[in-house]
Amino acid sequence: MLTFRRALLGAAAFICMIFLVTRTHSSSTSNLIPPSDSLKNSQYDTQSTRTGHVPTNPASTDISRLAGTKEKKPKNGQQLLQDMSRASLRDKLAYQFPYDVEKKFPAYIWQTWKYTPASGEFGENFRPAEASWSEKHPGFIHEVITDQVAVHLLRHLYTSVPEVLDAYNSLPLPVLKADFFRYLILLARGGIYSDIDTHALKSAAEWLPENVPREAVGLVIGIEADPDREDWAQWYSRRIQFCQWTIQAKAGHPVLREIVANITEETLRKKNAGLLKGFKDNKVIEFTGPAVWTDTIFDFMNDERYFDMSTTKGNITWRDFTGMKAAKRIGDVVVLPITSFSPGVQQMGAEDYDHPMAFVKHEFEGTWKPENLRHIGAIDDGKR
């Protein structure tokens, strides 16, 4: 029965959604993407150069065999316009969310949580973390999207790709939806996604080294784990694991397109095979978490559709990122060292929170112990 309370909640969610959608629309041409000059300044961190401060973030090393390569233009752009209904999922996503590396990083911060910051139930321990993002990013649009609002927002963004919505709605665990949501919102809108329990230590304007041109980068990622030990496979799913609690991207980035397509197809396949009902927590990492995220990134870096492979001597692998102390650029992807997004873990070469390269602080809730590491992708589960 539709109680008064429910009706009220529904109305509130609806108004929120209208608000978000209209604001998203109007502001995409006005205040959402700040005037090019101000954003350019903040991105280039002219403040510290003007005042003569030494940049905290040392120069990046490019992986030279790939640096400077360009994404090849899709050959079939013409056909896409003519008949999208029969296009593949990946082509539909590419058409709907075109990627332009030369655009500026959108000034959005996206987070998800069960409650909005306005709610008494938001959680006092998350408030300082949530506030840190607004404080460090004046002028950015900062949204904490609840699960109810996410449904409406995604329905608006993905109307023309219904299989994506079908997959999202079919996911059986909140942690799976939370994982999927971050890729979906970044693919459609771009900006920064960060988990609700993650503090911003430095403004994103300082994340990229000064010598990296912003108009040549479309994805910024950090390292979650770099276990330099014989028995790493006992504790981790990949020798290098990229983290997905904080990601910065421009809309339409091919890595996001691919992971959205992958999760959509895997979900619908599992659904048709009746495998979603009994889905186990410990499979999250491979299905939507850091394992599939890491694989998708490596596949992209080794994909000849995006990189000129003729000059390369072999695939990019974990060896290119292990033990790194400064950012590395591979085409339009910047990989930050482990200290940047995982400071303070006291292993794998990560420095502490006060290190100049420490950019965000992720709360591990005591999970950073070997016996818990295997399930690192499921950490969020307990919290939601």
Region of residue 35 (left: phi > 0; alpha: psi -120 to 50; beta: else): beta
How many residues bind to ligand NAG according to rule CB under 6 A? Answer: 8
**Using rule CB under 6 A, residue 265 touches ligand NAG:** yes
Sole window of 22-30, 186-194, 237-245, 258-266 interacting with ligand NAG (rule: CB under 6 A): 258-266
98: DSSP letter: -
**Of 42, 198, 203, 262, which one interacts with ligand NAG (CB under 6 A)?**
262
**Least separation in angstroms between CB 210 and ligand NAG:** 32
**Using rule CB under 6 A, residue 312 touches ligand NAG:** no
Q: Which is nearer to ligand NAG, 210 or 299 (CB)?
A: 299
What is the number of residues in the chain?
384
Bridge partner residues of 143 (DSSP): 110
Alpha-carbon distance values, 297 to 95, 147, 204, 318 (Å): 21, 27, 21, 11
**Using rule CB under 6 A, residue 166 touches ligand NAG:** no
Alpha-carbon distance values, 7 to 10, 19, 151, 169 (Å): 5, 18, 17, 21
Pick from 187, 188, 176, 240: which is nearest to 377 by CA? Answer: 176
**Of 150, 154, 157, 292, which one interacts with ligand NAG (CB under 6 A)?**
292
- Three-state DSSP at 202 gives coil
Q: Which is nearer to ligand NAG, 210 or 266 (CB)?
A: 266
**Least separation in angstroms between CB 244 and ligand NAG:** 13
Sole window of 52-60, 91-99, 261-269, 355-363 interacting with ligand NAG (rule: CB under 6 A): 261-269
Give the position of tokens 């929170």: 353
Q: Which is nearer to ligand NAG, 223 or 316 (CB)?
A: 316
Q: Which is nearer to ligand NAG, 302 or 322 (CB)?
A: 302
Q: Which is nearer to ligand NAG, 215 or 265 (CB)?
A: 265
DSSP for 158-194, written as a single string: TTT-HHHHHHHHH--SHHHHHHHHHHHHHHHT-EEEE
Sole window of 149-157, 165-173, 259-267, 339-347 interacting with ligand NAG (rule: CB under 6 A): 259-267
**Using rule CB under 6 A, residue 57 touches ligand NAG:** no
**Using rule CB under 6 A, residue 302 touches ligand NAG:** yes
**Using rule CB under 6 A, residue 299 touches ligand NAG:** yes
**Least separation in angstroms between CB 319 and ligand NAG:** 12
∠235-240-246 over CA atoms, to 5°?
100
Q: Contact 153/20 with Cβ under 8 angstroms? A: yes
**Of 266, 308, 320, 381, which one interacts with ligand NAG (CB under 6 A)?**
266
**Using rule CB under 6 A, residue 62 touches ligand NAG:** no
Distance of CA 195 to the CA centre of its chain: 10
**Using rule CB under 6 A, residue 315 touches ligand NAG:** yes
**Least separation in angstroms between CB 264 and ligand NAG:** 8
Identity of the amino acid at 375: H
Pick from 269, 191, 170: which is nearest to 32 by CA? Answer: 191
**Least separation in angstroms between CB 265 and ligand NAG:** 4
Identity of the amino acid at 82: Q
CA distance 38 to 43: 8
Residues that bind ligand NAG (CB under 6 A): 262, 265-266, 292, 295, 299, 302, 315
